[in-house]
Amino acid sequence: MGRDRAARLSGQLPAGSRLFPGETTLSGPVTARPPSPRVVAGWILRRPETLNETEHLSPKAILVHCPELDALTGRVRSFGQMLTERQGERLPQWLDAVRRDDLPGLHTLAAGIDRDRDAVIAGLTLPWSSGVVEGHVNRIKMLKRQMFGRAGFALLRKRVLLA
């Protein structure tokens, strides 16, 4: 068991290190594993000022080598700023900029936003929100799914009113 664990960890030792006394040294340079897509997405989606020093330097090293990811990061962060600061009037310029970029994933998002552009702009600019209503609808649907096939409308009504 110890040798298996050591063999798995051998990629983490510097070149020239010995695993066991009398064993031959490792050959070749040891490189760090690249970050997972989930970690990179977290770096992109979080505000830069909330990243710690290590998290701040790692994305910079990756973005230098991948201009597409750098452009994507800029577009995603500007969209996030529009959302948090309620700047819906900037949406048409953002959509035009996304269409000019060679980022197919964002093209799909832009096409979806374009289908209901007026509603999205209103949602990004107006102070009203239907979040509370949507929360209640989501809760009722969850209750309905839980009770599927168990009882009729009367029990569902009672459960919704008592919850």
Q: Using one digit for the tens of pLDDT, what is the confidence trace for 38-97? A: 888 888 888 878 877 777 677 777 778 788 888 888 899 999 999 889 998 999 999 999
Q: 74 near 103, Cβ under 8 Å?
A: no
Among residues 16, 47, 51, 48, the alpha carbon closest in space to that of 30 is found at 16
With a threshold of 0.85, does the pTM exceed it? no
CA pair distance 119, 159, nearest whole angstrom: 34
